[in-house]
Amino acid sequence: MIVERGRYGPFFSYTNKEYDTSGISTVHPKQFRMSAFEITYLLTLSDGEDIDQKVKSICLEQSVELPGALLDSHIEEEVVGDPVSIEKVKEDQFEVVISWPIANLGGEITQFINVLYGNISLKPGIRVTSADWTELSDLFAGPAVGLKEVRNRHQVLDRPLSATALKPVGSTPSELANYCFQFACGGIDIIKDDHGLANQSAAPFGARLKACVSAISKAEEQTGNRASYYPNITASPEEAIERYQMAARRGADGVLLCPHISGLPTMHKLAQMDIDLPIIAHPAFSGQLVMHETNGFTPDFLYGQLWRAFGADFIIYPNKGGRFSFTTEQCKAINGAARTPDSDFKKSFPMPGGGMEIDDLDRWVADYGKDTVFLIGGSLYEHPEGIIKGAQELQDKLTRE
Amino acid sequence: MIVERGRYGPFFSYTNKEYDTSGISTVHPKQFRMSAFEITYLLTLSDGEDIDQKVKSICLEQSVELPGALLDSHIEEEVVGDPVSIEKVKEDQFEVVISWPIANLGGEITQFINVLYGNISLKPGIRVTSADWTELSDLFAGPAVGLKEVRNRHQVLDRPLSATALKPVGSTPSELANYCFQFACGGIDIIKDDHGLANQSAAPFGARLKACVSAISKAEEQTGNRASYYPNITASPEEAIERYQMAARRGADGVLLCPHISGLPTMHKLAQMDIDLPIIAHPAFSGQLVMHETNGFTPDFLYGQLWRAFGADFIIYPNKGGRFSFTTEQCKAINGAARTPDSDFKKSFPMPGGGMEIDDLDRWVADYGKDTVFLIGGSLYEHPEGIIKGAQELQDKLTRE
C-alpha cells in the first residue's frame, strides 16, 4: 500500500500507552508546509499494536509530545510529522516514510538528532533505515575532504588503500613511532592511532604526534614513499578541537575521532573548521544503535548516511568475519551509502576493520571494490617475519589487484 | 565461584572470532598496578562461547586490542584488564567484575567511556551493571548542586517536587510564557522546556527565556510563590555553553540538557563551570543503551550511576506505565542509584515522567518516596478545568502526602 503524501488517515485506534490521536485531522494534505525532509523507518508491531496508531504516535512523539486533541490547527498543520507512505513488508512489519518540517529543526543538527531518534530511542520496534538528505544539505555539509581528494593526496587513484593502527596503549611515543616507521617502510598508506591512545602519561598526545610524524618523514627519506599519520583526537569537544589544530600544525595528515564518545556534533564542528585534515570516524560506543534488528539504525544508515552527513571522510566499521558480527550484506550496504554519487555530499571512504586477515584480502577486495580502505591491525603485528614484511605482503596484494 | 583479585586463570579456549589469549599469564596477581577501578558486567554466552574466553577477550578488547601472545610482560601487567571475579548467576549467564588501570584513562572522561563500553558496544551478551566510582572520584565530580541544595533553594524540605514541560514546538514565546505563568500560579515547582524546544524561529532561545523568566516573576507577584524555570539548552557543545551562561545571566533557575545529543562530555563540562544552575538530564537518544536485556547498560547504571557521575542534578527517565516501558523495579533501581548516600558525589534528584497521570500519583509517591520529582506534562494540558486547576490538583496531592 502506497499512500499519497499527506493524505494518509484516519487514525483511530487508541491505547493507554500511546497518545490519543483522535483529534488529528489527516484528511487534508499539510499544504502550508514550506519545506520538509523525509525519514524512512522499519516498524515492527508488538502484540496488539496497530500500525496506524504506531505511525501517528511517532508523528506526535517526535514533534509536539502532546495528544492530538490538544493541538491548535496551525500546530497540527505546521509542526506534527506527516505520514507519506505505509507499506507492509511482512507480517507485523511495515516500511513507513514520515515527512518532518524543516522548521522544527531551527537550523540545528542537535535538534535533527532529536527529531530523528530522540524519545523513540526508548520505544521498541522502530528502526531508521534511511533519510532523504536533499532538503538537509543546508544543515549538513558532509565530508570536508572526501574520497576523491584523499586519493589525490595519496596519488593513488586506482587501487584500494591500506590502513593500520598503532598500539597498544601503554607503549611509549618512541615504541609507537618505531611501529609507525616500520609500517611506513612496508608501504602502508594510512597509519592511525589505536582509538584507545588518548593522552595517557605513557604516550601523551603531543609527544606521540611529534614522534610519529617524524617517523613518517624518516621512512620517506629511506623509501621515497610517504605514508600518512592520523593521530586519535577523541576527547572532550574543546580538547578534540585543540588536538585537531595541533595535528594540523605539526604535520599530521588527518585525525581519528570516535564521534559517539566526543559527541556527533563535535565531528560536525571539526569538519566545518578551516583545517583540511580528513577525519576517520571510529564506531566505539555506537554499537547498540545498530545491533538490534528491529530497533535503532541500520548499519548503513548510521555509518554510511549519518556519519557521511556529519562529515566523516573515512568510516571505520566492523567487517564481517572479524571479532564483530555484521553480515557481508550489511557491510556492502555501508559501503554503498558511504560512496553513493547520488548525494549532495562528497563521498566517504569506507574502512572495514576489526580482525581482518591478510590472507582473506582478495575476497574482500573483490566484494567491496577498489574504493575501500582495508584496516588491518593485529595480524600485521603477528606476522612471523615482522611488521615490515607483513605490511609489504598486504601492500603487494592491494597493488596487484 | 568468587575468584581472588588478579588470580583468575588460565584462559585457554580459542575461537577465530576472538583474541588468542594463550600468551597471557594470569597466574600472578598484577602487583605493579598502582590504582585501578572496577566495572561489573552481566555476560550472556551465545552458542559455543566460553566464559573464560569471553572475559579475557573483554580484558584485551577494551585495553590493548591485540592478541595476548603479542604483549610485552609490562603491558600485560600494567595495561590489560584484570578479572576480579566470575560468578555464575544462571545457565549461560555470569556476573563478572573486571579491574582496569586508572592510568589507561589518562585523566579523561572520554577515554573512560571508551574503556567502559567502546568496542564492546558492538558485541553481543555484554551488559554493564555497575561501576565502583571510589577510584574515579578525581575524574568525575558528580552534580554541582545536587538534591539537598535544590531542596534548599525551593525551601521545600519534606515532600516530593513537581515538574512539568512547556510545549508544543511551534508555539510562540508568549504562548509558552502564558503556560508557564499558569503552571506557576497553580504551584508547580519546576517548569522546564520540552526538550524539542531548541532555537526554532517560532520561539528562539533568547526570546523564550526572557518571556518565561518574566512569567515566573509575574506569577510570584500574584501568588507569593516562586516557581523555577529551566530552559532547554541542548545544542552543539559551544552553543550549549553559551545558552547555559545566558540562562544564568537572565534569571533562569536551571537548565535542561539531552546529554546523549550534545554529548556526555558536554554535560560534564557544564557541571564543572563556574555557574551554579542545576542541570536536568533528559534521556532522548539514549534508549538503545538500556532497552536490550543482555546488552548495553542497566537503566540504573546509565541514568542513576553514570549520569550522576557526569553531573546530572536531575535525572529524567521514562516511568513505568507511561508511553515507555521500564518496569517498576527498574525505576526503583534508578532512584536508588541516583540517591544512594554511599557515593562520593552529591545526590541526583530522580525525575520520572512520560505519560504520568495525576490520578496515579499517590501510588508513585508511595513507591518512590519523597526524594522524587514527578514530571507531569500532557495530563495537565488535558485537564478539563484548565492548566491552573490541574497544577493545583497535582500540587495538593504532593503537599498532602
Chain A residue with the nearest C-alpha to that of B299: A122
> Chain A partners of B381 at a C-beta cutoff of 8 Å?
66, 70
- Res A324 pLDDT > 90: no
Query: Per residue in B210-229, pLDDT tens?
Result: 999 999 999 999 999 999 99
Does residue A28 belong to any structural domain of this protein?
no
Task: Check residue B19 and give its pLDDT.
Answer: 55
Task: Report the alpha-carbon distance of residue B378 to residue A292 in Å, rounded.
Answer: 31
Task: Check residue B320 and give its pLDDT.
Answer: 87
Contact yes or no for B288 and A284 at CB 8 A: no
Could you give the 3-state DSSP secondary structure of residue B53? helix
Task: Report yes or no: B175 at the A interface, CB cutoff 8 Å.
Answer: no
- Residue A311: all three cell numbers together: 562529515
Task: Check residue A321 and give its pLDDT.
Answer: 80
Distance to chain B for A235, nearest Cα, Å: 5
| Paired strand residues for A352 | A317
A72 and A164 in a common domain: no
A295 and A174 in a common domain: yes
**CATH no. for residue A118?**
3.30.70.150
Which of A136, A168, A196 is at the close of a domain? A136
Mutation site, A77, A105, A110, interface B, largest B CB count within 10 A: A110
Mean pLDDT of chain A: 91
| Paired strand residues for A232 | A256
Question: Which of A57, A237, A292 has the CB atom closest to B292's CB atom?
Answer: A292
Does residue A3 belong to any structural domain of this protein?
no
CA nearest B115: which of B42, B54, B53, B64? B64
Does residue B371 belong to any structural domain of this protein?
yes
Contact yes or no for A325 and B123 at CB 8 A: yes
> Chain A partners of B325 at a C-beta cutoff of 8 Å?
122-124
Given a contact cutoff of 8 angstroms between Cβ atoms, the answer to whether A284 and B118 are in contact is yes
Q: What is the ipTM of this complex?
A: 0.93
A280 and A301 in a common domain: yes
Does residue A7 belong to any structural domain of this protein?
no
Mutation site, B288, B291, B292, interface A, largest A CB count within 10 A: B288
Task: Check residue A68 and give its pLDDT.
Answer: 87
Task: Check residue A108 and give its pLDDT.
Answer: 98
- Res A175 pLDDT > 80: yes
CA nearest B374: which of B322, B297, B312? B322
Per-residue confidence at B325, pLDDT binned at 50, 70, 90? confident
A129 and A68 in a common domain: yes
Phi, psi of A88 (to 5 degrees): -75, 125
- Res A5 pLDDT > 50: no
A251 and A322 in a common domain: yes
Mean pLDDT of chain B: 91
Contact yes or no for A110 and B198 at CB 8 A: yes
Put simply, the chain A residues between 127 and 146 with a CB less than 8 A from any chain B CB are none
Per-residue confidence at A158, pLDDT binned at 50, 70, 90? very high
Per-residue confidence at B29, pLDDT binned at 50, 70, 90? very low
Task: Check residue A236 and give its pLDDT.
Answer: 98
Task: Check residue A9 and give its pLDDT.
Answer: 34
- Res B57 pLDDT > 50: yes
Task: Report yes or no: A302 at the B interface, CB cutoff 8 Å.
Answer: no
- Res A349 pLDDT > 70: yes
Mutation site, B111, B166, B264, B294, interface A, largest A CB count within 10 A: B111
A234 and A376 in a common domain: yes
Distance to chain B for A291, nearest Cα, Å: 7
Largest separation between any pair of C-alpha atoms in chain B: 75
- The parent domain of residue B232 ranges over 146-400
Question: Which of B19, B57, B196 has the CB atom closest to A114's CB atom?
Answer: B196
- CB within 8 A of A165, min separation 6: which ones? A191, A192, A193, A194, A195, A353, A375, A377, B65
> Chain B partners of A355 at a C-beta cutoff of 8 Å?
17
* DSSP notation for A20-73: --TT---SS--TT---EEEEEEEEE--TT--HHHHHHHHHHHTTT-S-GGG--H
Question: Which of B78, B236, B287 has the CB atom closest to A122's CB atom?
Answer: B287
Task: Check residue B321 and give its pLDDT.
Answer: 80
Task: Check residue A139 and give its pLDDT.
Answer: 96
Contact yes or no for A167 and B66 at CB 8 A: yes
Chain A residue with the nearest C-alpha to that of B101: A170
Put simply, the chain A residues between 16 and 45 with a CB less than 8 A from any chain B CB are 17-19
B65 and B118 in a common domain: yes
CA nearest B153: which of B369, B349, B351, B361? B349
Q: What is the mean pLDDT of residues B35-53?
A: 96
Which of A136, A162, A181 is at the close of a domain? A136
Per-residue confidence at A401, pLDDT binned at 50, 70, 90? low
Task: Check residue B18 and give its pLDDT.
Answer: 53
Q: What is the mean pLDDT of residues B247-260?
A: 98
Task: Report the alpha-carbon distance of residue A394 to residue A385 in Å, rounded.
Answer: 13
Task: Check residue A323 and give its pLDDT.
Answer: 67
Phi, psi of A313 (to 5 degrees): -80, -35
Does residue A197 belong to any structural domain of this protein?
yes
Query: Per residue in B93-150, pLDDT tens?
Result: 999 999 999 999 999 999 999 999 999 999 999 999 999 999 998 999 999 999 999 9
Task: Report the alpha-carbon distance of residue A255 to residue A232 in Å, rounded.
Answer: 6
Share of chain B above pLDDT 90, in %: 84
Chain A residue with the nearest C-alpha to that of B127: A288
Question: Which of A67, A124, A234 has the CB atom closest to B110's CB atom?
Answer: A234
Domain count of the fold of chain A:
2
Element (H, E) at B293: none
Contact yes or no for A79 and B169 at CB 8 A: yes
> Chain A partners of B53 at a C-beta cutoff of 8 Å?
none
Chain B residue with the nearest C-alpha to that of A67: B378
Task: Check residue B219 and give its pLDDT.
Answer: 98
Task: Check residue B22 and give its pLDDT.
Answer: 53
Query: Per residue in B128-137, pLDDT tens?
Result: 999 999 999 8
> Chain B partners of A199 at a C-beta cutoff of 8 Å?
106-108, 111
A190 and A88 in a common domain: no
**CATH no. for residue B327?**
3.20.20.110
A45 and A160 in a common domain: no
B394 and B340 in a common domain: yes
Given a contact cutoff of 8 angstroms between Cβ atoms, the answer to whether B296 and B285 are in contact is no
Query: Per residue in B62-75, pLDDT tens?
Result: 999 998 889 999 99
Task: Check residue A26 and give its pLDDT.
Answer: 43
Question: Which of B108, B171, B287 has the CB atom closest to A198's CB atom?
Answer: B108
Query: Per residue in A187-201, pLDDT tens?
Result: 999 999 999 999 999
Q: What is the mean pLDDT of residues A168-174?
A: 97
Does residue A5 belong to any structural domain of this protein?
no
- CB within 8 A of B120, min separation 6: which ones? A287, B58, B61, B62, B126
B381 and B332 in a common domain: yes
- CB within 8 A of A362, min separation 6: which ones? A397, A401
Give the neighbor-by-neighbor strand order of the sheet with B190-193: B228-230, B190-193, B161-166, B373-375
A153 and A74 in a common domain: no
- CB within 8 A of B190, min separation 6: which ones? B161, B162, B163, B164, B227, B228, B230, B253, B254, B280, B373
Does residue B20 belong to any structural domain of this protein?
no
Task: Check residue B163 and give its pLDDT.
Answer: 97
CA nearest B227: which of B247, B255, B209, B253? B253
Largest separation between any pair of C-alpha atoms in chain A: 75
Mutation site, A57, A114, A260, interface B, largest B CB count within 10 A: A114
Answer with the residue of higher pLDDT: B321 or B47: B47
Answer with the residue of higher pLDDT: B400 or A397: A397
Task: Report yes or no: B201 at the A interface, CB cutoff 8 Å.
Answer: yes
Contact yes or no for A237 and B198 at CB 8 A: no
DSSP tag of B46: P
Task: Check residue B68 and give its pLDDT.
Answer: 87
Q: What is the mean pLDDT of residues A346-365?
A: 92
Task: Check residue A2 and give its pLDDT.
Answer: 38
The lowest-confidence range among A172-181, A199-208, A295-304, B375-384 is B375-384
Does residue A4 belong to any structural domain of this protein?
no
Distance to chain A for B158, nearest Cα, Å: 31
Which of A110, A136, A162 is at the close of a domain? A136
Chain B residue with the nearest C-alpha to that of A167: B64
